[in-house]
Amino acid sequence: MIHKLLGAALLSCVVLVPFSSHAELAVGSEGKFKDMTEIASSQLHKGALATTQSFLGSVDIHDIRGAEDFKKQIILQLKEAARAYRNAENYAGQRQLKPSPGSEQDSSDIKYFFEHANEFGFSGDLSERTVIIFVERLILAMSNKIEATEIKKLSSDIREQQKFFKYVLTVQYFLNSVTTLLRVG
């Protein structure tokens, strides 16, 4: 039990720290593209990412029925967020991004993006449009992974829970690096 409490406290810190300077996954220099990505970001954060915490809480106490309900919500919310990013794509430009970091944190985020882009399946040019399409696909991939998660197995195996937690945190952190790339590009 103490390990779960410490783990939850650590996860809370890890989730908050990467997003301290730029919490949103809203990007774009101005106009409709920025507005649309702000809506998509809000749907992602207020929906799926918030519900994920409730899902994990249910898993912790072996509440399979509760976890199943939260899992269904997360999948729906991820798909809605992906659809919102797809709508933002219509306003994205073909402008090639040339990152010009303005701080050490920006530099760190950009470095993280380039070090992990292949791992997350990013390939192609660095245009606003290509990157925002990639964000939509990454969110859908997260939805598929969560949909494939076996809750009984997850609930009964601490290592599986840790792998799941790490996956969610890693995707969030990578999305943060994408935000920085678009913001300083």
Sequential pLDDT tens for the chain (185 residues): 433 443 443 343 333 333 333 434 545 456 888 888 888 888 888 889 889 999 999 999 999 999 999 999 999 999 999 999 999 998 888 889 999 999 999 999 999 999 999 999 998 889 989 999 999 999 999 999 999 999 999 999 999 999 999 999 999 999 989 888 888 88
Nearest to 178 by CA among 51, 34, 22, 50: 22
Listed in sequence order, the DSSP H helices in the chain are 2-16, 31-43, 50-60, 64-89, 104-116, 128-148, 151-156, 158-184
Where are the chain's structural domains? Answer: 2-8+25-184
The predicted pLDDT at position 30 comes to 62
Q: With the C-alpha atoms ordered 27, 33, 39, 40, is the resulting torsion angle positive or negative?
A: negative
Task: Give the contacts of 180 (CB within 8 A, at least 6 positions apart).
Answer: 22, 101, 105, 106, 109, 110, 113
The predicted pLDDT at position 98 comes to 92
The predicted pLDDT at position 163 comes to 95
Strand, coil or helix: 18: helix
Query: How far is residue 178's CA from residue 184's CA, in Å, rounded to a whole number?
Result: 10
Going by the DSSP 8-state scheme, the letter that residue 127 receives in this structure is B
Q: Tokens in use for 119? A: 């791992």
Q: Which one-letter amino acid corresponds to residue 96?
A: Q
Contacts 24+ apart (CB under 8 A), 145-153: 146/71, 146/74, 146/75, 146/78, 147/71, 147/75, 149/71, 151/59, 151/64, 151/67, 151/68, 151/71, 152/64
The residue whose two tokens read 């399979």 is 64
The predicted pLDDT at position 11 comes to 40
Query: How far is residue 110's CA from residue 63's CA, in Å, rounded to a whole number?
Result: 39
